[in-house]
Amino acid sequence: MCRSLGECLLHRRASCAEFADSVGPYRRTRAMILDTLANARRYHALHHRFPEAFRFLSETDLPSLAQGRHDIAGDALFAIVSRANGRTRAEAPLECHRRYIDIQFIIAGTDEMGWKPARDCLHPRGEYSQEKDILFFDDAADSWVKTPAGGFCIFFPEDAHAPLVGTAPIHKLVVKVAV
């Protein structure tokens, strides 16, 4: 059994079920993930719905999808398509979710997303919205990653993130995976 996700990836054993079962969605110590669909199989073992989520991303004509919600498996797994103008880092608050993991896939443009561990966010902006499963923060991101078209980031509930940062329009799809 691998002792960490890094070791699983190093040995190309991301499907190491023992590792995935041992960390669970809230006991992991790793940060958000940035990658491309070519490597999506590496992440299948992290959640039982990830194979279905990545199959949707790989087999669907994403540019032709209308904006809005697209059900994959009801409230357990669905996608939200959006088109938005990029905004500045200062205009993009950190956010986190409690009930869903985000797989944020960039269809067109580049999304420079901020990241910070949610446990380190000390300045919530209002209350958590259970209806929308979102809590915003006034904290600054610890790091920023440019995610180009064809790339995705995975944000778990413990990952605060600031999406939609860029100087041009961003066309993206967010797969929401119930934890």
What CATH architecture does domain 31-178 belong to? Sandwich (2.60)
Q: Measure the CA–CA gap between 168 and 3, rounded to whole angstroms.
A: 41
- The pLDDT assigned to 24 comes to 42
Degrees, nearest 5: CA angle 96-10-178: 30
171 in Cβ contact with 130 (< 8 Å):
no
- The pLDDT assigned to 32 comes to 86
- The pLDDT assigned to 20 comes to 36
Query: Could you tell me how far CA 130 lies from the centroid of its own chain?
Result: 19
pTM of the model: 0.83
pLDDT tens digit sequence for 8-65: 333 333 333 333 333 344 344 457 899 999 999 999 999 999 999 999 999 999 999 9
**Tokens for 63?**
């540019």
Q: Measure the CA–CA gap between 168 and 165, rounded to whole angstroms.
A: 9
pLDDT tens digit sequence for 85-96: 999 999 999 999
pLDDT at 75 over 70: yes
- The pLDDT assigned to 132 comes to 96
pLDDT tens digit sequence for 96-142: 999 999 999 999 999 999 999 999 999 999 999 999 999 999 999 99
- The pLDDT assigned to 88 comes to 98
Sequence ranges of the domains in the chain: 1-30, 31-178
- The pLDDT assigned to 26 comes to 39
- The pLDDT assigned to 30 comes to 53
**Burial class of residue 131, CB neighbours in 10 A (0-12, 13-18, 19+):** exposed
Over range 147-170, report the average pLDDT.
97
